[in-house]
Structure 1
Amino acid sequence: MIQDGLKEHGEPMITVSKKKMSAWSGDMLAVLVVPQADGSLHIEEPVLQTYLAKAGKSGDFSGKAGQSFLLYPDDDLPCRRLLFVGLGDKPKSREEIRLAGGLVGQKAMDIKAVTLAVAWSDVDLAMQDMGECCTEGLLLGQYRFSKYKKSIADDEKPVFLKKISFFPHEAVAACRRGVRLGEVAARAGKTARDMANEPGSGWTAEEFAVFGRGLSTKSPITCTVFGTRELRRHKMGGVLAVNQGSEGEAKMVILSYRCPRQDADTLLLVGKGLTFDSGGISLKPGAGMEDMKYDMCGGAAVMAAMAAIGEEQPEHVNVVGVVPATDNMPGPAAVKPGDIISSYSGKTIEVINTDAEGRLLLMDALAYGIKNFKPSAVVDLATLTGAVIIGLGHHYTGLMSNDDGLAAKVQEAGSRCGEPVWRLPLGEEYSKQLKSEVADLKNVGGKPAGTITAAAFLQEFVGETPWVHLDIAGTAWNFTEKSYVPKGPSGIGARTLIDLVRNWA
């Protein structure tokens, strides 16, 4: 299913060339432009400089970040279209290049280009970063999900790039390495978006299991899937409780990658895989409930990241991904407010609100992963609370952690990927809100600091293991509008996890 979706928006062939960009022939040549200190515009190749000067003299293009100017060149250039894209004054961040790449990708779709060349000069950024981030922006900016649209007019059908050529002015080998990294990360982001875009009836716990098993057939990743029988045997009362009102069987998908090093750290990634959330007996309002198919975006991020890890096969770190998956429905056997359940860890939970179900999935997955894989660090991702949207809007993912060093690593990875996080506090004062009169814990701590008390609940199941919790409820969909982020699911988290693994030390 996801493989079909990836075919829809294509996997273009990407090359990096030492040749002159002005000699390239194809649908569109895009040149990323940095204005000089005096405001003038300059490109080394004379024929392109002529067109750039014309664009500047028109008054419609100054090289400001986000500006673009499309020309149809004469016979002195073999390309059919020439696009200038402004980068602003000496861009130094990876995100600025990613945004420019997304803009180029969108412009290519507007003119239905299938071949594209991209060039730049005078940029204060490492050439590997240039190749990586421009590739990410291009490919993610071309993302579309029209799988279920059966009556699209020919002139409205999306046309995707089939061939992309980069023309760096130096360090061609470094650019090639970056392009390769960008391809893998963009593919992961698109995969996570594909999963999230599927309807709740089209992407179920079983689809998570099928995807995981598929990874094990084409990469050195092993896949284990727990169904109802295994969940009962392991006494995973949280996953089973959430699944009680559902028709379909719950799954826990466990993916493991082992690197060649015997003394390598193990990084555990856990993603909430709630494929549709009605709220259960604590039923959600009808308005906006269709968006609850996105409640599995944490699981999608982990799955997509594990696919990339299986492809790149890092030599310095072991990675385990765990996705507990089910939907949350108000069927006749559904868990009820006031019920008391037992977790994998042995702790008992008083269910106050059945719509606070994600933490019940994660508590079993975290406890199981830590006990059985003994990781050096744990990162979990979940669309866990609406409260994080009130606090941070749709621009930052909420981060809570018991370890400053790990928190800093995740913050840096998010920054490098254009997926920013904001750290919120944890402490005993928040944990006190979870005390129950009849069980070890309540599953909610009231309205005050709802995002933090949800993390405090999860903290009860990680012990002393360094751990980061990412609440992506505000960023998994309706994320900050960007040239490479479409409306709907953003694919948030997948690229951050990949970057974290790549730079793990």
Structure 2
Amino acid sequence: MATPHVQVFSTLNELSDHTHDFDAVILVGPHFSGLDSRIDEALKSATKVHENITRTGGVIACELVASGRLILAPTGSLDRDYDDVRRFYDAARKAADVAEQSGARKPVLMAVNVPQDATFENALALVYFGFSQGLYQPLEAREHFGEGLEPIQQVGLIGEVDGKWLHAVEEGRRVARDLCGTEPERMSPLRFAEYCQSAFAGTAVKVTVLDDRPQLEVEYPLLSAVARASFETNQRPCVIRLEYTPEGPVEQTLMLVGKGITYDTGGADLKVGGHMAGMSRDKGGAAGVAGFVKALAHIQPKGIKVVAELAAVRNNIGETAFVADEIITGRSGVRVRIGNTDAEGRLIMADCLARMTELAVDEKEPVLFTVATLTGHAALAKGPYTALVPNKTAERSGSVDALLSAGELWGDPAELSPSRREDYDFVAGRTKADDLLSSNNGPSATTKRGHQFPMAFLVRVAGLDKHQFSSETPIPYVHIDIAGSGVEGGDWQHGKPTATPVLALSGRYLR
């Protein structure tokens, strides 16, 4: 892996006085005046030949470093109501391409003229994360061309930041991008598990891979139904369990479930009309959970215990595939009538969430999460933003508000979608033969409350309704739908994975 390492300097002068081999300075900000006399002179010379260079960005000559490269990465205006810290992320992401093309191999990054507003307090950190996003190349490409495909291995940062923390979180984001973005044969369920075993080797995270068919059918019956047509192939399913226990007393337990559909054909309710392309990224939820745990493995926070399960399944087509109308009893004993096989993500997470619910009653201050590229409706309703669907306990305890705030501050924003009574009515069983309906038989994007009602299904199928706000053992639970935010530009076949919600979760729990 080639996550850029970080060396931190306090000021430009410290960089100048230091023995180093940095070969470019990249300035990211709304304007570039008033920083240093050498920069002012360079800007004066550059604007004589390119009048708009400070607005368009680019490379100019400056003697700040031996190579003489100064790269301008303008954010644009930052004083409008809708501007936020992502302006720095986006500008730095573009600057990565400029830096590589200019021949820079060890650049220094600096956020300049940052507004004195709490909204922008993590501007320099977002410059690093955005720059790293721009440098990232897919796993398949790195394996083909070699790790030298990403030539920038180290960056300098000028400002007050914790370089080790940033590097740890970026390591997690790289894991998330690799797992989400890699093609379906290279990242089949068991190879997904192998990647996780390698990623966590030598860390305090215990990795357990459950792939025994009889065990899965008993403990994860809904997942096994989705995987029925893949058991006898090289795409057979598994559950990847990640466990981290800190040194010293546990103050809070985070329990996460990630949807890892390594390829979603739609099953018997086949995706047609070209809608299957990009469905190898339907594992973005499991990827995001793994990425967060990877960051945690490096940071090793005190007081926080983490238990995660990644449900890795291919929704295969075949004569043994599960079909609509089947009634399957989940781990919790709840009988589920299948409404549509293309609503498979909630099914593979259901038994994992049921297990977490069983364990949570004995944990210290538990908070439960499901993370998934679950519904087209979330992408339609929220655009490029993550949708958070909490239960009442998560709302009243402040859990969801804290996550929303962290997302804003760390450039990984989400929007709230409260759960309502209509959602529970929607998934209620229709006859005495079943307790729950998994979904309707239409696309989520054309279904009212299409990204909210799946959360109600998950609550009921996991037995979380026995731990509602008015119960003796209320458990906070937040469903995180990243269908709109999981890849750049909404391009599920070609867009770079964003590694969401690693930044939001890390900003909330790992600071």
The answer to whether the Cα contact below 8 Å between 2:285 and 2:482 also exists between their aligned partners in 1 is yes
After superposition, residues 314-463 of structure 1 pair within 5 angstroms as 314-374=301-361, 375=363, 376-393=366-383, 395-402=384-391, 403-404=394-395, 405-435=398-428, 436-437=430-431, 438-445=433-440, 447-460=447-460, 461=462, 462-463=464-465
The answer to whether the Cα contact below 8 Å between 1:269 and 1:321 also exists between their aligned partners in 2 is yes
SS of the residue corresponding to residue 238 of structure 1 reads helix
Amino acid in structure 2 at the alignment position of 1:114 = R
2:27 equivalent in structure 1? 31
**Alignment RMSD (CA, Å):** 2.9
Q: CA deviation at 1:58?
A: 5.6
- 1:324-359 deviation digits (Å, cap 9, x = unpaired): 111101222111111110101110000121111111
> Do structure 1's residue 70 and structure 2's residue 89 form an aligned pair?
no
Q: Could you tell me how far apart the structure 2 residues matched to 1:167 and 1:63 are?
A: 20
Higher mean C-alpha deviation, range 249-258 or range 121-130: 121-130
1:42 equivalent in structure 2? 34
1:79 equivalent in structure 2? 67
Amino acid in structure 2 at the alignment position of 1:232 = E
Q: Are the structure 2 counterparts of residues 15 and 369 from structure 1 closer, same or farther at C-alpha, using a change threshold of 3 Å? A: same
For these two proteins, the number of residue pairs brought into alignment is 471
Amino acid in structure 1 at the alignment position of 2:476 = P
Q: Are the structure 2 counterparts of residues 454 and 15 from structure 1 closer, same or farther at C-alpha, using a change threshold of 3 Å? A: same
SS of the residue corresponding to residue 450 of structure 1 reads coil
Amino acid in structure 2 at the alignment position of 1:453 = F
> Do structure 1's residue 502 and structure 2's residue 510 form an aligned pair?
yes
Q: TM-score, normalised by structure 2?
A: 0.84
1:197 equivalent in structure 2? 181
Q: CA deviation at 1:451?
A: 1.3
Q: CA deviation at 1:216?
A: 5.0
Q: Could you tell me how far apart the structure 2 residues matched to 1:130 and 1:389 are?
A: 27
SS of the residue corresponding to residue 166 of structure 2 reads helix
Amino acid in structure 2 at the alignment position of 1:399 = L
Name which of 274, 288, 307 aligns with 2:275: 288
The answer to whether the Cα contact below 8 Å between 2:109 and 2:128 also exists between their aligned partners in 1 is no
Q: Could you tell me how far apart the structure 2 residues matched to 1:87 and 1:281 are?
A: 47
Amino acid in structure 2 at the alignment position of 1:237 = P
The answer to whether the Cα contact below 8 Å between 2:311 and 2:349 also exists between their aligned partners in 1 is yes
The answer to whether the Cα contact below 8 Å between 2:24 and 2:68 also exists between their aligned partners in 1 is yes
Identity of aligned residues (%): 23
The answer to whether the Cα contact below 8 Å between 2:206 and 2:242 also exists between their aligned partners in 1 is yes
2:472 equivalent in structure 1? none
Q: CA deviation at 1:132?
A: 2.3
> Do structure 1's residue 308 and structure 2's residue 295 form an aligned pair?
yes
After superposition, residues 95-494 of structure 1 pair within 5 angstroms as 95-124=86-115, 129-145=122-138, 147-148=140-141, 158=149, 160-168=151-159, 174-175=160-161, 177=162, 179-227=163-211, 228-234=213-219, 236-246=220-230, 247=233, 248-374=235-361, 375=363, 376-393=366-383, 395-402=384-391, 403-404=394-395, 405-435=398-428, 436-437=430-431, 438-445=433-440, 447-460=447-460, 461=462, 462-463=464-465, 464=467, 465-479=475-489, 487-494=495-502
Q: Are the structure 2 counterparts of residues 488 and 123 from structure 1 closer, same or farther at C-alpha, using a change threshold of 3 Å? A: closer
Q: Could you tell me how far apart the structure 2 residues matched to 1:209 and 1:258 are?
A: 20
The answer to whether the Cα contact below 8 Å between 1:114 and 1:159 also exists between their aligned partners in 2 is no
Q: CA deviation at 1:164?
A: 1.8
The answer to whether the Cα contact below 8 Å between 2:59 and 2:102 also exists between their aligned partners in 1 is no
The answer to whether the Cα contact below 8 Å between 2:264 and 2:315 also exists between their aligned partners in 1 is yes
SS of the residue corresponding to residue 272 of structure 1 reads strand
Amino acid in structure 1 at the alignment position of 2:189 = A
The answer to whether the Cα contact below 8 Å between 1:195 and 1:203 also exists between their aligned partners in 2 is yes
Higher mean C-alpha deviation, range 239-248 or range 494-503: 494-503
Higher mean C-alpha deviation, range 124-133 or range 217-226: 124-133
Q: CA deviation at 1:242?
A: 0.4
The answer to whether the Cα contact below 8 Å between 2:24 and 2:106 also exists between their aligned partners in 1 is yes
The answer to whether the Cα contact below 8 Å between 1:68 and 1:85 also exists between their aligned partners in 2 is yes
The answer to whether the Cα contact below 8 Å between 1:52 and 1:84 also exists between their aligned partners in 2 is no
Q: Could you tell me how far apart the structure 1 residues matched to 2:387 and 2:111 are?
A: 35
Name which of 9, 28, 53 aligns with 1:17: 9
Q: CA deviation at 1:69?
A: 3.5
Q: CA deviation at 1:215?
A: 4.8
The answer to whether the Cα contact below 8 Å between 1:215 and 1:221 also exists between their aligned partners in 2 is no
Q: Could you tell me how far apart the structure 1 residues matched to 2:342 and 2:335 are?
A: 18
- Structure 2: gaps of 5 or more residues: 442-446, 468-474
Q: Could you tell me how far apart the structure 1 residues matched to 2:379 and 2:65 are?
A: 50
- 1:392-425 deviation digits (Å, cap 9, x = unpaired): 22x1112211121222122122222322212123
SS of the residue corresponding to residue 451 of structure 2 reads helix
Amino acid in structure 2 at the alignment position of 1:52 = L
The answer to whether the Cα contact below 8 Å between 2:111 and 2:123 also exists between their aligned partners in 1 is no
Q: CA deviation at 1:20?
A: 4.2
Amino acid in structure 1 at the alignment position of 2:373 = T
Q: Are the structure 2 counterparts of residues 61 and 33 from structure 1 closer, same or farther at C-alpha, using a change threshold of 3 Å? A: farther
Amino acid in structure 2 at the alignment position of 1:334 = A
Q: TM-score, normalised by structure 1?
A: 0.85
